[in-house]
A = this chain, B = another copy of it.
């Protein structure tokens, strides 16, 4: 996923600081969003391909105006929406869910509660995934520190023979 590169950038920018709400807020406008950008500029900025940007548009996730030559012109709102979309994709929200979310956004203010519910549910998904990964990390660490190669998840209590192949 080309999208991963954006997170690399962001993490680099963060350094080792714990991400806080404030940090996120700052990240949002690390650089000002120009009032309009070409597809190449947006692709570069979000670290995804022009192909992907067109794909997102086809999928109904953004609407993008055209200039006199029929070329896409991304305004600041479109770019901000794409930043949001990219973040959500990266955190594991599916295209389908994002399409639904965007439908809600486009449907108006009265859908705010449902949007909140989606975000809350997604939050839970992220938390769950964090716990899974933390556990996996511990498991891998265990494997590295105690032996280092066999597939049996438990190394022999008494290393009389090699762990199961």
Residues of A near any B CB (own CB < 8 A): 7, 10-11, 14, 18-21, 23-25, 28-29, 76-77, 80-81, 83-85, 87, 90-92, 101-102, 104-106, 109, 111-112, 115-116, 119-120, 122-123, 126-146, 148-154, 162, 164-165
Contact = CB atoms under 8 A, between A and B. Distances in A.
A129 B137 CA distance: 11
Given A77-B164, A145-B21, A131 B91 contact: no
A149 B10 contact: no
21 contacts: A11-B135, A19-B135, A20-B138, A21-B142, A21-B146, A23-B138, A24-B135, A25-B142, A84-B153, A85-B151, A87-B136, A87-B139, A92-B136, A109-B162, A116-B149, A119-B148, A119-B149, A122-B140, A126-B136, A130-B130, A130-B134
B144 A120 contact: yes
A123 B137 contact: yes
A143 B127 contact: no
Contact of A140 (B7, B76, B123, B162): B123
A112 B80 contact: no
B105 A165 contact: yes
Contacts of A152: 77, 80-81, 84
Contacts of A143: 119
Residue of A10, A19, A127 with most partner-chain B CB within 10 A: A19
B164 A132 contact: no
